[in-house]
Structure 1
Amino acid sequence: MAFTSLTFILLSSFCFILQAQAQAQAPAPSSGDVNLTAILVKGGQFTTLIKLLQDTQQLTQIQSQLNSTSQGFTVFAPTDNAFQNLKSGALNGLGEEQKVQLILYHVTPKYYSLSDLLTVSNPVRTQASGREGSWGLNFTGQGNQVNVSTGIVETQLNNALRQQFPLAVYQVDKVLLPEELFGAKSPAAAPSPKSAKSSPEIPSVGKTGGAPSPSGNGAAERNVGLGVIVGIGLICMGALF
C-alpha cells in the first residue's frame, strides 16, 4: 500500500514537471496575428482611412513591422465623418508623398495606453518625424479623458478600438492635420521699399531746355536799356556837330 502511494506521488510529480516544461516552451502569441484592417473594419466607420492606408502602402508596412517591433505602435484612426468634414479639396490637393506623411502622422512608433498618454513628454514623436519639421503630437487631459492636439486641430480620443500590446488603436473624430502640411504658409518677403524718388532736378542756366534764372533775366534787361540810352546820346551829339 505504501509502495502504491509512493508510485502515485512520483508519477504525479513527473506529469506536473512535463506540463510545466511544455508551457514554458510554448511560443508566445505572435504580434503578426494582430490585423489592423480587421480592427478598423470591425469599428465600422473607417472606410476612408483603410483606403488611404492601402493606397499609400502603409498598411503593409505597419503589418510587416508589427512582426518584429519591440516598442509596438499606436494608431489614431479618423472616422469617415472626420475626413468628410475637411475643407473641400484638402485631401485631393495633397501629392502622393504628402498623403504618406499624413498617414504616418497618425501613427507613433511606440505602444501607448491611455494612461501612458497622460504622462508623456510632449511633443510625442510620430512615424512622420525625422523629416523637415517636428511632426509631433501633444497630449493633455485628466482621468479617462485624453485630448490630442496638432497645433491646428484638437480632438478627444473617444474610443479604444484596441488597447493591447503591441498595437493600440484609438478613434478620433477629426483628421490630425500637421502644421508642416496645413499650417499657415510663411508670408512672402515684403518687397523692399523703393528708394525715395529724387526731387526733380532744377534746370540750371546754360543747359539745353533749362529755364533761365530770374537774376539772369534782370541783368539782360538792364544791359539792353543802357545800350539804348548810349545810342540815343550818340545820335544827339552827331546832330549838334
Structure 2
Amino acid sequence: MASSTHLFLLAATFSAIIGIAAAATAAAPSAAGLNNLTDILTKGGQYNTFIRLLKSTQVGQQIQSQLNNSFNGLTIFAPTDNAFNNLKAGTLNGLSAQDQVNLVLSHVLPRFYSLSTFQTASNPVSTQASGPGGVYTVNVSSTTNQVNVTTGVVETQVNNALDTNFPLAVYSVDKVLLPTELFGPKPPEAAPVAVAPSKPPAKGRPTKGDTAAQSVAEAPADAASHPSSAGRLMAGAAVVGFLGIVSIL
C-alpha cells in the first residue's frame, strides 16, 4: 500500500512539472517566432521598399538580434511604398551606404512604445541612429486619438499598428522620416576673402628703385658737366694771375 501511494505521488509530481513547463513555453514564445519584422511587414502588404532597405543595409538582422537580447524592446515606424514613391527622384540613390543605414535606423526607437505610452515620451526622442551628439532624433506629440512624429524636415501621423506585442511595436507612417542631418538646410559656406591684385608700375614712369639707380648712374656725368663753385673760383684766379704776369712783361 505504501509503495502504491509513493508511486502515485511521484507520478503526480512529474505530471505537474510537465504541465508547468508547457504553460511557460506557451506563455513566452520566442521573439523570433512572434516578432519577425519581415513577416510583419510582408503581411501588411505595402512595405516592399522598406523591407528591401532593411535587407540591403542589414539593419533587419541587427533589429532581430536586438529583439532577442533586449529588455526595453523596439518601436519601428514603417513607411509605406507610397511614402517612398513620393520622394524626389534619386533621393535614395543619392545617399551613401552609411547614410542609407542612418536613414533606416532613424525609423527605429530603442524602446517599446504602445500608443498610450507615446504620451509619456520626452522630446527629443532618440532613435537607433542617434549618437553622443544627440543627432538623428525625432519629436513625438500625442493626444488621446492621434500620435504625430516629426524630424524637423517632415511631419506625419502615426497610423495603424501592424504589431504591438512586446518586445516589438510596428506602426505604419505615410511619409519617410527624413532626418535633418541628411535632408535639412545646409549652413552657408563662408565667402572667400577678396585679395586686391597688385598694380604694375605705370608705363613710362620709373619706379622708386629705378629713379635711385638712374641718379647714381647720372651723377658722374652731372659732376663733369657742372663743376662745383669752388672749381670755378680757382679757374678765375688762375686767369687773373696769368694776366698780371703778362702786363708786367
5+ residue gaps, structure 2, are 212-249
Measured after TM superposition, the shift of residue 192 of structure 1 is: 3.2
Q: Distance in 1 between matches of 2:135 and 2:118?
A: 18
Partner of 1:80: 81
Partner of 1:22: 19
Structure 1 residue identity aligned to 2:154: V
Structure 2 residue identity aligned to 1:30: S
Q: Distance in 2 between matches of 1:15 and 1:111?
A: 41
Q: Distance in 2 between matches of 1:133 and 1:72?
A: 20
Q: Which of these two proteins has the greater Rg computed from alpha carbons?
A: 2
The answer on whether the counterparts of 1:133 and 1:180 sit within 8 Å (CA) in structure 2 is no
Partner of 2:228: none
Measured after TM superposition, the shift of residue 32 of structure 1 is: 2.1
The answer on whether the counterparts of 1:162 and 1:170 sit within 8 Å (CA) in structure 2 is yes
Measured after TM superposition, the shift of residue 15 of structure 1 is: 5.5
Q: Distance in 1 between matches of 2:24 and 2:59?
A: 32
Measured after TM superposition, the shift of residue 158 of structure 1 is: 0.9
Aligned pair 1:60/2:61, yes or no?
yes
Aligned pair 1:107/2:104, yes or no?
no
Q: Distance in 1 between matches of 2:123 and 2:24?
A: 39
Structure 2 residue identity aligned to 1:141: S
Measured after TM superposition, the shift of residue 23 of structure 1 is: 2.4
Structure 1 residue identity aligned to 2:106: Y
Partner of 2:48: 47
The answer on whether the counterparts of 1:114 and 1:144 sit within 8 Å (CA) in structure 2 is no
Task: Tell me the C-alpha RMSD between the 2 structures.
Answer: 3.3
Percent of pairs with identical residues: 55
TM (normalized to structure 2)?
A: 0.69
Tell me how many residue pairs correspond in the alignment: 196
Structure 1 residue identity aligned to 2:173: V
Per-residue CA deviation, residues 88-120 of structure 1 (Å, 9 max, x unaligned), is 111110011110110111111111111111221
Measured after TM superposition, the shift of residue 144 of structure 1 is: 2.1
For residue 114 of structure 1, give the secondary structure of its aligned residue in structure 2. coil
TM (normalized to structure 1)?
A: 0.71
Deviates more, 1:40-49 or 1:29-38: 29-38
Structure 2 residue identity aligned to 1:49: F
Measured after TM superposition, the shift of residue 26 of structure 1 is: 2.6
Measured after TM superposition, the shift of residue 65 of structure 1 is: 1.6
Q: Distance in 2 between matches of 1:16 and 1:44?
A: 48
Structure 2 residue identity aligned to 1:43: G
1:230-241 correspondence runs (5 A): none
Q: Distance in 1 between matches of 2:103 and 2:157?
A: 19
5+ residue gaps, structure 1, are 1-6, 210-241
Q: Distance in 1 between matches of 2:40 and 2:132?
A: 29
Q: Which has the larger share of helix?
A: 2
For residue 118 of structure 1, give the secondary structure of its aligned residue in structure 2. helix
Partner of 2:191: 190
Q: Distance in 2 between matches of 1:169 and 1:178?
A: 19
Q: Distance in 2 between matches of 1:137 and 1:114?
A: 16
The answer on whether the counterparts of 1:128 and 1:135 sit within 8 Å (CA) in structure 2 is yes
